[in-house]
Structure 1
Amino acid sequence: MNRSTDELALESRVSGARPEYRFATADGVCSERSFRTAELLLVESLWDADPGRLLVPEANYGVVGTVLAARASSAHLTESSARAARLCERNARRNDADVEISTVADLTTLGGTFETVAYAPKPYTPLAVGTQRIADALSVLGPGDELFLAAAPRTGLARYETHLDEMAAGVERRATRGDWRLLVATRPDSFDPPTYVSPRTIRPEIDGATLELVTVPGLFSPTALDDGTRLLLETATVEDGERVLDPCCGYGAIGAYAGLAADCEVWLTDDDRVATACAERSLRASGVDAIVVTADCTAGVADRTFDRVLCNPPTHASDGVLAELFAGIADVLARGGELTTVHHRDLDLRNHLSEFDRIETRRTGAEHVVLSAIK
């Protein structure tokens, strides 16, 4: 977990609740400095209801599921982010909430059905991805059971309401706070969930090797291999017998290339379960034998050592996330091992590489720079 965390307190003034709930947050999760209006709407609207078997998709750091666990017969929180899921676990424990937490890419893989779904789409969720989660959430409800959706115009409210009108047996506007709305949709007796997100395969060629990469909307550069990753792969070297790590692997381009370029041991990690699910498919399609782990930064490989790390880091993330990522890379890189990384020319990652002995610029492209750092 991020070395720098924040804490939020939520006071309760209703009977049957704890007088105060406390939540740890961290860089890299949605709204780490304040509670989300959408989540508070869900809590307030469902507190006096009988949620029964409750499902909270994309639970963030666990506010909705942790509070409503006291009212539900069971509460299951899901996250596609391993970082957020670990925060959910931590916050459930500290508030004595009895919940189940899963890191999943697809709600339909959970098994069983639920009586209530409480979903607050995150503001950066692509509309197709959010709509697919709504369709999948309806599919895991029983007939006549309800999906509670809290959204605002800037998080896709109008589009979500339109699709709910098409999918649900009925849709009701239940509560309002500012421009936020709480929609309640009833699952029809018969429901065949439509498909809004479909995988696609891209086939970039790098130094004579053709990769078969499986992507979906919502991942970084889903329609074509990005220029930074291409420059990194055209610059980096991989030797037979090396232990190679591809952190922040996305849909697996770097790991797949490393496995084709040399007879080496390859590991891939990413915080996003959607990304690692695509990476697994990319490796199979490319004919590469490698291990994929869903984990925050390098937490999933902290007990291993690597000779080479190839990384296109998420430079859109906060400084805290990047600092943790590169510190973790330094921890798992063998003495004398090499990190090769890429960044946009307008950025400077050298302040994150203080734990490395020697840093050099390997290549400069039109928009990106490739650096190597030796431990």
Structure 2
Amino acid sequence: MRHAPYELALESHVTDARSQYLFHTADGVVSKQSFRDAELLILESLWDRELGHVLCPQANYGVVGVILADTADSVEMTETSARASRLCERNVRENDVEASVSLRADLTTLEPKFDTVAYAPKRYTPITVGKQRIADALSVLRPGGSLYLAASKETGLNRYEEQLCDIAGSVTCLADRNGYRLFEATRPRVFEPPSYVTFRTLEPTVAGEGLQLVTTPGLFAADGLDDGTRLLLESSTVEEGDRVLDIACGYGAIGTYVALAVDCEVWLSDDDVVATSCAKRSLRASGAEGTVVTADCTEGVAGATFDKVFSNPPTYAGNGVLSELFAGVHDVLAPDGELTFVRHEALSLREHLSQFSVVERLRTGREHEVVCARP
């Protein structure tokens, strides 16, 4: 992440707290220009409590974890996004607090040592994914520990409340304000987290290559290979010995196809550790070889050089992310290399291509266009 252009200040009006906390944010994280009501509700309700060791899943840019670090025995923040994780780390440093941050796809890999979990599901989180995080968070609490969940109807409030009543030891509504509710749920003495999310294997055939792509809810095109990626693969060429990068790889469709079709070196990179864990599974399931890294934009391959870069870029992430992504690709392309990407016909990415000397359309589909750019 080259830039964090937004800065938010949160003033404190409680005793025994510093007067102000500062947070750096950027495109690609939730609520980049304002604090989330759910997180503020958690902070207002938990500040004066005995929290012990605290876990903050999906910490975003670290608001809850940073502030509770001033009152808890310890704080650990987890994220599935490399960009969000780095913002958490920066905000820990900037506010001079002690808290750990980890990039983690599965909360159950943590030791069950926490006394408190504070979780505010992000908007657009699939309900099954949110439920799995809640169940997994309960499993890493000590028996009798408390999970605090803040949500609104837009973020799945009713279904999460039903889930907590089904699996937690007890459930209490602590606060109700502006459409948000804060629940406290206790971990039962004996608890095995139920499974709400499973991996799924897609088996598309592209240009004669049979793929086995492993995916899970919450990832792009989780139900089937999307038309844009298929058009990109059917329009692209790779030579033997090429060094290839699949950037914003998702569950690895592009990289897996290239690794099967051509004898070449393939790298796959994505900001989301859930996506990269699936990309690794896709390579194994398809009998292909490649190197997978979890990193923001091209940070995981900085200093490397590639002959071909392919991408179905994350246009939903915002212009800041796209600008860094394309600038990073330009930096890692060989002088005679090529970037081939696909875009929806309704979206123009021209503003991000100014550093490329040649930009040409390769193929147009029903709703997508494949573009090739050269340095």
TM-score range, shorter chain: over 0.9
**Mapped contact 1:269–1:300 kept (Cα < 8 A):** yes
1:272: Cα distance to partner? 0.5
Instruction: Work out the CA distance in 1 between the residues paired with 2:282 and 2:170.
Output: 40
Instruction: Work out the CA distance in 2 between the residues paired with 1:51 and 1:350.
Output: 50
**Mapped contact 1:4–1:320 kept (Cα < 8 A):** no
* 1:317-343 deviation digits (Å, cap 9, x = unpaired): 211111111011001111010000000
* 1:52-97 deviation digits (Å, cap 9, x = unpaired): 0100000000000000011111100000000000000000001011
1:84 aligns with 2:47: no
* 1:237-292 deviation digits (Å, cap 9, x = unpaired): 11111110001000000000110111111111101111001001001111111111
Instruction: Work out the CA distance in 2 between the residues paired with 1:348 and 1:17.
Output: 47
Instruction: Work out the CA distance in 1 between the residues paired with 2:179 and 2:373.
Output: 49
Instruction: Work out the CA distance in 1 between the residues paired with 2:4 and 2:77.
Output: 24
**Mapped contact 1:2–1:321 kept (Cα < 8 A):** no
Q: Which amino acid aligns with 2:94?
A: R
1:284 paired residue number: 284
1:33 paired residue number: 33
Distance 1:141 1:4, change over 3 A: closer
**Mapped contact 2:358–2:373 kept (Cα < 8 A):** yes
**Mapped contact 2:361–2:372 kept (Cα < 8 A):** yes
Q: Does the residue aligned with 1:129 lie in a helix, a strand or coil? A: helix
Instruction: Work out the CA distance in 1 between the residues paired with 2:283 and 2:96.
Output: 41
Instruction: Work out the CA distance in 1 between the residues paired with 2:111 and 2:263.
Output: 39
Question: TM-score, normalised to structure 2's length?
Answer: 0.99
Instruction: Work out the CA distance in 2 between the residues paired with 1:367 and 1:223.
Output: 19
Structure 1, unaligned stretches of length 5 or more? none
1:197: Cα distance to partner? 0.4
Q: Does the residue aligned with 1:340 lie in a helix, a strand or coil? A: strand
1:144 aligns with 2:144: yes
Q: Which amino acid aligns with 1:19?
A: S
Q: Does the residue aligned with 2:309 lie in a helix, a strand or coil? A: strand
Q: Does the residue aligned with 2:224 lie in a helix, a strand or coil? A: coil
Q: Does the residue aligned with 1:145 lie in a helix, a strand or coil? A: strand
2:329 paired residue number: 329
* Alignment map for 1:279-358 (pairs within 5 Å): 279-358=279-358
**Mapped contact 2:4–2:24 kept (Cα < 8 A):** no
2:62 paired residue number: 62
Q: Does the residue aligned with 1:176 lie in a helix, a strand or coil? A: strand
* Alignment map for 1:162-177 (pairs within 5 Å): 162-177=162-177
2:12 paired residue number: 12
Q: Does the residue aligned with 2:201 lie in a helix, a strand or coil? A: strand
Instruction: Work out the CA distance in 2 between the residues paired with 1:252 and 1:110.
Output: 26
* 1:69-126 deviation digits (Å, cap 9, x = unpaired): 1111110000000000000000000101100100111100122421100000001101
Q: Does the residue aligned with 1:279 lie in a helix, a strand or coil? A: helix
1:350: Cα distance to partner? 2.2
* 1:156-200 deviation digits (Å, cap 9, x = unpaired): 000000000000011000012211000000111111111110000
Instruction: Work out the CA distance in 1 between the residues paired with 2:283 and 2:297.
Output: 20
1:223 paired residue number: 223
- Taking only aligned residues, the RMSD between alpha carbons, in angstroms, comes to 0.9
1:241 paired residue number: 241
**Mapped contact 2:118–2:149 kept (Cα < 8 A):** yes
2:153 paired residue number: 153
**Mapped contact 1:2–1:27 kept (Cα < 8 A):** no
1:263 paired residue number: 263
1:131 paired residue number: 131
Q: Which amino acid aligns with 2:297?
A: C
1:214 aligns with 2:214: yes
Instruction: Work out the CA distance in 2 between the residues paired with 1:24 and 1:315.
Output: 22
1:2: Cα distance to partner? 4.6
1:309: Cα distance to partner? 0.1
Instruction: Work out the CA distance in 1 between the residues paired with 2:219 and 2:26.
Output: 21
**Mapped contact 1:339–1:372 kept (Cα < 8 A):** yes
Q: Does the residue aligned with 1:316 lie in a helix, a strand or coil? A: helix
**Mapped contact 2:112–2:142 kept (Cα < 8 A):** no
Instruction: Work out the CA distance in 2 between the residues paired with 1:268 and 1:16.
Output: 47
Instruction: Work out the CA distance in 2 between the residues paired with 1:281 and 1:153.
Output: 34
Q: Which amino acid aligns with 1:372?
A: C
Q: Which amino acid aligns with 2:326?
A: F
Instruction: Work out the CA distance in 2 between the residues paired with 1:91 and 1:215.
Output: 32
1:134: Cα distance to partner? 0.3
Q: Does the residue aligned with 2:316 lie in a helix, a strand or coil? A: coil
1:145: Cα distance to partner? 0.7
Q: Which amino acid aligns with 1:281?
A: R
Instruction: Work out the CA distance in 2 between the residues paired with 1:51 and 1:219.
Output: 33
1:346: Cα distance to partner? 1.5
**Mapped contact 2:112–2:139 kept (Cα < 8 A):** no
2:185 paired residue number: 185
Distance 1:60 1:242, change over 3 A: same
Q: Does the residue aligned with 1:45 lie in a helix, a strand or coil? A: helix
1:111 aligns with 2:121: no
Distance 1:162 1:2, change over 3 A: farther
Instruction: Work out the CA distance in 2 between the residues paired with 1:47 and 1:23.
Output: 18
Question: TM-score, normalised to structure 1's length?
Answer: 0.99
Q: Does the residue aligned with 1:217 lie in a helix, a strand or coil? A: coil
Instruction: Work out the CA distance in 1 between the residues paired with 2:320 and 2:62.
Output: 21
Instruction: Work out the CA distance in 2 between the residues paired with 1:265 and 1:72.
Output: 47
Q: Which amino acid aligns with 2:170?
A: G
Q: Does the residue aligned with 1:182 lie in a helix, a strand or coil? A: strand
Q: Which deviates further from its counterpart, 244-253 or 2-11?
A: 2-11
